[in-house]
Structure 1
Amino acid sequence: MATRKYRKLALLAKIEATEGTDSVPTGAADAIQANDVSITPMAGNEETRNLMLPWLGNQGVILTGDYVQMEFSVEVAGAGAAGDVPPYGALFRASGMSETINAGVDVQYAPVSDGEESISIYYIHDGVRHVALGARCNMSVEFAPERIPRFRFTVMGLLGTITDQALPVVDLSGFQTPVAVSSANTSLTLHGVNPVAESLSIDLGQQIEPRFLIGEERILLTDRNTNGTAVVEALPLGTIDWFAIARARTQAAMQLVQGTTPGNIVQFDAPAIEIGRPSQGQTQNIINYSLPLSFVPSAGNDELTITVK
């Protein structure tokens, strides 16, 4: 009897031309290089019968609303050359973002409020393939010094087939080697200053809902509330007064650039960040502030733009 090994995994994702119809991703064209991967192969609900019988005992359940849920991380890195689509681009598009390709320059991703795309995902775990169809995602990302930054995707998809399948040959050559978050590799501007930052996290806040009705079963993206947190070294109020900014509900820009080499740069831009209630702490006996961030649209569907260049 063959023993299946946990670390042998192929993850494939491809945009669907028709939502819920298998787009048949391949290892050669659609492989995702991921880590910290988990799957709930058969999420859903259970309906109990609660029959009144002359005897006691478990009556079993009926499984309803079956879907697949996955979580995994993908390293924040470029596409190899300016204007190339990053190999994780399909995941951004399934996270409710548009893709704009500027040939030879960059590829930009921005939120959309309708026409969100879906993907088919194959999760092939050492000989067993789980298929999720009509899948959509939420994406978050975190930056911390001396760490590799990673996008974190939470995926829901309709339950497809679960079958024995050999691991495919995958081409991961499009995935670039990331650089760690550091003063040399990472720059941050927030409300007109360059804070000394301990961390920055961003969450697209996409609300993904499995919806099972008579005549239609879909995974829908129903709302978006992009937010985040910045932990910054506390400066004199004369330099930057985060408390006054929070009380005035002032909106101003944020930009984070990860990487310095063309072809391996990922840039995050937000035009209108509101600061929430700052909380005070310390690290290594240095005072810091934890700043809640609200990413507010300025002209609509522009609260966060991610540029790969």
Structure 2
Amino acid sequence: MALRTRNAALLAKIETTEGVDASPVAGTDAVLVENPQISFNPNTVQTNEVTGSLDGRGPITGGMTVQITCDVLLKGSGVPGTPPEWGKLMKAAGWAEVITAAAVPAAAEAAASGTTTSLTLAAGASGTAQAYRGMPLLLTGNPAGGATSFVADYTAGKVATLTDLFGTALSAATNYQVPVNVLYKPASTNIPSLTLYLYMDGLLYKVVGARANATLKLQSGNIGLISFTMTGMFAGKVDASLPAGLVYDATRPPVWKGGKALVNRVVSAMSSLSIEFGNQMTNPDNPNAAEGFDPSIITSRNMTGSCDPLETLVATRDSMAALRAGTQQVIHAFYGISVGNRIGLTIPAAFYTNLQPGDQNGLLTNTHQFSCTGQDAGAFICLY
């Protein structure tokens, strides 16, 4: 009987003990993905024994790692403060999950002062540096009609540097509030491992001790996508029917339209914005382990990205000057209209590594290649 690729499902659960099957179940651990694929990387040892013949005795299969790749559509859970089902994959890729379960402050309050690019928050805000970095600020009063901006930097003195450039300086007439949100930011410690169950029309592949690398891409007029590559240890292949009761987030992904795309606080028309997580991974040698090595760990990260805004006059946006001077600039996007399914991507300090003029349907473009700089602060993904 032929097996079909469409009849597939992925379950993922964070492990209590690295490399020990966490037994994910359909009701709580299903992750809605596209294009799930599995591949194997056996360490095949070639031997060269002399046998009295031109033929040897054949290779020996050593330890083996497994990779599962899939694409996740970028969307929220639909419930503010509730992580999306793909959040556990982000954790295994070295991103910390920060949940702001209640708005800060509970009711919007007046700021202490402001400028065209910053706002000094008042008594209801935290005095902890970077407490709100990557999160949205809902602004009312000034500017008239209200606005949403994001925090690119936040000091212990409660000064929030914003992703936007306002035409009129913000002030004590500006009321602000941080809404309930779920934030993902790079982490260097406490990176969990996953147990993955990949069902494929009657087959079940089990993988333990998995950690991930990924690429995020936004496309104008289209949906955002995160492509994950998860490396783990093979734990078995058995015959198993697709589990009953698969539960997924009910939301549909928002489209990148009617939002913002900013390069150095300048509104910039572009077709795409992407970041490569850039995780370097290794499997530590360990003859005590079943495969001769331990589950993969993330040893370093080099996060990079690119975007392709339409070219402008130097007076509007002078990225070349920033490249030549090594000046770091904010790159930001946000979109979505439904609460719990709005998305913000903030790169607080993009360091340009190259600028490439191009053509898009007869229009000049300027592809920005950049490094996402900052310790555990290269980029932030917020759902609110």
Normalising by structure 1, we get a TM-score of 0.94
- Cα deviation 1:270-300 (Å, max 9, x = unaligned): 2211112201110111010111011001xx3
Partner residue, 1:301: 376
Give 3-state SS (helix, strand or coil) of 2:220's partner.
Answer: coil
Partner residue, 1:79: 77
Partner residue, 2:232: 157
TM-superposed CA distance for 1:111, in Å, is 1.1
TM-superposed CA distance for 1:180, in Å, is 2.4
Which runs of at least 4 in structure 1 moved beyond 6 Å after TM superposition? none
Give 3-state SS (helix, strand or coil) of 1:109's partner.
Answer: strand
- Separation of aligned partners in 1, 2:272 and 2:15: 35
Give 3-state SS (helix, strand or coil) of 1:277's partner.
Answer: strand
Matched-pair identity in %: 27
Instruction: For 1:93-108, list aligned pairs within 5 A.
Output: 93-104=91-102, 105-108=180-183
Q: Which runs of 5+ in 1 are unaligned?
A: none
Instruction: For 1:109-258, list aligned pairs within 5 A.
Output: 109-182=184-257, 184=258, 186-216=259-289, 217-258=294-335
Partner residue, 2:14: 15
Name which of 37, 48, 62 aligns with 2:60.
62
TM-superposed CA distance for 1:202, in Å, is 0.8
Give 3-state SS (helix, strand or coil) of 2:295's partner.
Answer: strand
Check the 8 A contact 1:234/1:287 in 2, yes or no.
yes
Partner residue, 1:3: 2
Greater shift, 50-59 or 62-71, is seen at: 50-59
- Separation of aligned partners in 1, 2:62 and 2:256: 44
Q: Give the alignment's Cα RMSD to 1 decimal.
A: 1.4
TM-superposed CA distance for 1:71, in Å, is 0.8
Instruction: For 1:241-280, list aligned pairs within 5 A.
Output: 241-280=318-357
Amino acid in structure 2 at the alignment position of 1:60 = G
- Separation of aligned partners in 2, 1:125 and 1:194: 45
Greater shift, 238-247 or 205-214, is seen at: 205-214
- Separation of aligned partners in 2, 1:194 and 1:230: 13
- Separation of aligned partners in 1, 2:318 and 2:331: 16
Check the 8 A contact 1:195/1:232 in 2, yes or no.
yes
Q: Which runs of 5+ in 2 are unaligned?
A: 103-179
Amino acid in structure 1 at the alignment position of 2:202 = G
If you compute each CA radius of gyration, which structure gives the higher value, 1 or 2?
2
